[in-house]
Amino acid sequence: MIGIWKIVSDNSSVYITPTMKEVDALVEAGCEIIALDCTNRLTCEGTYAWENIKKIRAKYPDVVIMADIDTIEDATIAAREGADIIATTLNGYTENSTEKHIAGDSEGEPNYEFLKQLKKADLGCFILYEGRIWTREQAVRCFEEGADSICIGKAITNPYKITDRFVKAVNSYFGK
């Protein structure tokens, strides 16, 4: 089971399992994998998000660490610090990402170029590609470009977003 705890804070843009308090609760709940922000952004505690990797590794050596990253540089740091899985969760959704998207917006294509670069970096970690996968063809292409696994979100779990995409396409056809 993957554990993730989102905490929105006014003093930090890091919100995916930002502190050890959340990690402790997730481990206590039985999570075998802990997903956390591992970007080069400061947490509400004033440390870089990726610094939690070593803390988790020291306290919970058997827990699998999934590093949610936004750039190749962050993926490299996360791998060096001991992450087991590199997840592209934040690519395109932070101020540091090369390809910007509006936060919460899942339109557009998966960032295949980023995935290729991540695979080419050969960081020795499992790669989980996540972001803007809406079709079967996109899912297959993510594997072709180097993903070990994929995560499909809103295309399955958000009926509002699914309906909105159909309405926009139909309205576009009718010139609205």
Question: Model confidence over 94-151: pLDDT tens digits?
Answer: 888 756 554 445 667 899 999 999 999 999 999 999 989 999 999 999 999 999 999 9
pLDDT given at position 104: 46
- Torsion sign (Cα): 53, 112, 150, 7: positive
Q: What is the pTM (predicted TM-score) of this model?
A: 0.89
Helical segments of the chain, H only: 20-28, 52-59, 72-81, 112-120, 136-144, 154-157, 159-173
Cα-based angle 93, 94, 100 (whole degrees, multiple of 5) = 60
Ranges 35-39, 82-86, 101-105, 153-157: which has the least confidence? 101-105
State the chain's mean pLDDT as an integer.
92
Domains annotated on the chain, with CATH: 2-173 (3.20.20.70)
Identify the DSSP state of 3. Answer: E
Q: Is 95 helix (H, G, I), strand (E, B) or coil?
A: coil
Answer with the residue of higher pLDDT: 95 or 74: 74
Joined tokens for residue 6: 């989102």
Q: Say what the pLDDT of residue 93 is.
A: 84
CA distance 148 to 163: 30
pLDDT bin (cut points 50, 70, 90) of residue 68 is very high
Residue 74's nearest CA partner among 56, 44, 53 is 53
Q: Tens digits of per-residue pLDDT, 48-57?
A: 999 999 999 9
Cα(47)–Cα(45) distance, integer angstroms? 6
